[in-house]
Structure 1
Amino acid sequence: MDSDTNATARKLAQSLMQFNKTFMQFHRSELHQNFAGCKPSEVGVLFAIRHGVQGNGRPIKVSEISKHMHVTSPTITQLLNSLEANGLVERHTDPTDRRAVGIALTEHGEQLALKAENVLFETFQNLSEYLGDQQSNQLADLLIKAFQYFNERDTNGYFFPWKGEEA
Structure 2
Amino acid sequence: MEATIEEQAVDTLLRLMEFYHDKLLKAEKQAFTGIQAAQFRLLFLLTSVPMISMSALGNMLYISKPYMTTLIDSLIAEELVERHPDNHDRRVINISITEKGLERLNVVKSAIQKQLRSVLSDLEESDLKDLCSTGERLVSIVSKIQ
Structure 2 Cα separation of the partners of residues 109 and 147 of structure 1: 26
Q: Tell me, which stretches of 5 or more residues in structure 2 are unaligned?
A: none
Aligned residue-pair number: 135
1:29 alignment partner in structure 2:
30
The answer (yes or no) to whether the contact 2:26–2:32 under 8 Å persists in 1 is no
Structure 2 Cα separation of the partners of residues 51 and 69 of structure 1: 14
CA distance 1:16–1:114, change in 2 (3 Å): closer
Using the TM superposition, give the Cα deviation of residue 128 of structure 1 relative to its aligned residue in structure 2, in angstroms.
6.9
| 1:15-164 equivalences in 2 (<5 Å) | 16=16, 18-22=18-22, 23-26=24-27, 29=30, 39-53=36-50, 59-121=51-113, 123=115, 130=123, 131-139=127-135, 141=137
Q: Tell me, which stretches of 5 or more residues in structure 1 are unaligned?
A: 33-37, 54-58, 153-167
Structure 1 Cα separation of the partners of residues 97 and 128 of structure 2: 36
Q: Residue type matched to 2:25 in 1? A: M
Q: Residue type matched to 2:36 in 1? A: K
Identical residues among aligned pairs (%): 21
Structure 1 Cα separation of the partners of residues 17 and 36 of structure 2: 20
CA offsets 1:14-44 (integer angstroms, 9 cap, x no match): 9557514422113982668xxxxx7111111
CA offsets 1:99-125 (integer angstroms, 9 cap, x no match): 221112233212112332344455557
Q: Given the two structures, how large is their TM-score scaled by the length of structure 2?
A: 0.63
After superposition, the CA RMSD in angstroms is 3.8
Q: Which moved more, 1:82-91 or 1:63-72?
A: 63-72
Structure 1 Cα separation of the partners of residues 60 and 109 of structure 2: 17
CA distance 1:52–1:124, change in 2 (3 Å): farther
